[in-house]
């Protein structure tokens, strides 16, 4: 597997391959880093910052567009997740962190069956409708459909676990189950909010045992 030194952008989020990330760049060190990436047309590595440290598995991002430049050097950018990597070591020799990254892909020998993909897509569609989210349906023939479907979830532990998995079949199963759980949680939350709005009269939620 190839290795290279990547400029690193620690964030309290998890970027997934093929998914969009929008950032407001305001710290001097990241102005320098993003400016260099733009000049060299280089990717940077996004890693989740957790518990005062960095997760070992991350995803590179390529800058697709500079949405706005400010007079003081700040900028708004749109980036797309690209390659997954494992950090072998981290260097602090620059104003921003850099890491020796080893890239990896999936180990599936055969693609997952269509039925599993449709189950995961159905769970995604139900969640989109429930949240009244604006989302374009993903390409069901995409070889890493799981990442596109999972992007609706903001559960960082789930997203990080998915990023580390090397089986599209396993990821689709996880996505299907996770999105179903989130839909059920959303329904319970909506029902409880309805109870609160009705001054706590929630008898309709429960049936009295015989």
3-104: CATH, from 2.60.40.1180, 2.40.128.20, 3.40.50.300, 2.30.130.40: 2.30.130.40
* 160-183 pLDDT tens trace: 999 999 999 999 999 999 999 999
Q: Cα(133)–Cα(127) distance, rounded to whole angstroms? A: 8
For 51: left if phi > 0, alpha if psi spans -120 to 50, otherwise beta; the answer is left
Q: Cα(166)–Cα(63) distance, rounded to whole angstroms? A: 25
Give percent above pLDDT 70 in the chain: 93
* 194-209 pLDDT tens trace: 888 776 554 454 444 4
* 48-63 pLDDT tens trace: 999 889 999 999 999 9
Q: Cα(91)–Cα(131) distance, rounded to whole angstroms? A: 41
Mean pLDDT of 104-117: 93
**Domain residue spans in the chain?**
3-104, 114-197
Q: Cα(57)–Cα(73) distance, rounded to whole angstroms? A: 30
Q: Is the pLDDT of residue 97 over 80?
A: yes
Contact 21, 81 (CB under 8 A): yes
């Amino acid at each position: 597997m190839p290795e290279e030194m990547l400029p690193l952008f620690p964030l309290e989020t998890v970027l997934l391959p093929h998914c969009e990330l929008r950032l407001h760049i305001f710290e001097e060190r990241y102005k320098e880093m993003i400016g260099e990436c733009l000049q060299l047309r280089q990717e940077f590595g996004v890693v989740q910052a957790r518990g005062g440290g960095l997760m070992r598995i991350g995803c590179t991002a390529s800058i697709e567009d500079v949405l706005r430049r400010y007079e003081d050097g700040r900028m708004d950018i749109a980036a797309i997740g690209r390659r997954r990597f494992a950090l072998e070591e981290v260097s602090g020799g620059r104003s921003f962190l850099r890491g020796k990254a080893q890239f990896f892909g999936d180990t599936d020998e055969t693609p997952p069956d269509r039925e599993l993909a449709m189950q995961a897509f159905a769970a995604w569609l139900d969640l989109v409708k429930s949240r009244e989210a604006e989302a374009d349906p993903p390409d069901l023939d995409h070889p890493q459909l799981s990442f596109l479907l999972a992007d609706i979830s903001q559960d960082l532990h789930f997203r990080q676990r998915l990023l580390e998995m090397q089986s599209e079949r396993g990821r689709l199963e996880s996505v299907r189950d996770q999105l179903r759980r989130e839909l059920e949680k959303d329904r319970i939350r909506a029902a409880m909010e309805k109870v609160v709005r009705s001054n706590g009269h929630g008898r309709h939620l429960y049936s009295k045992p015989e």
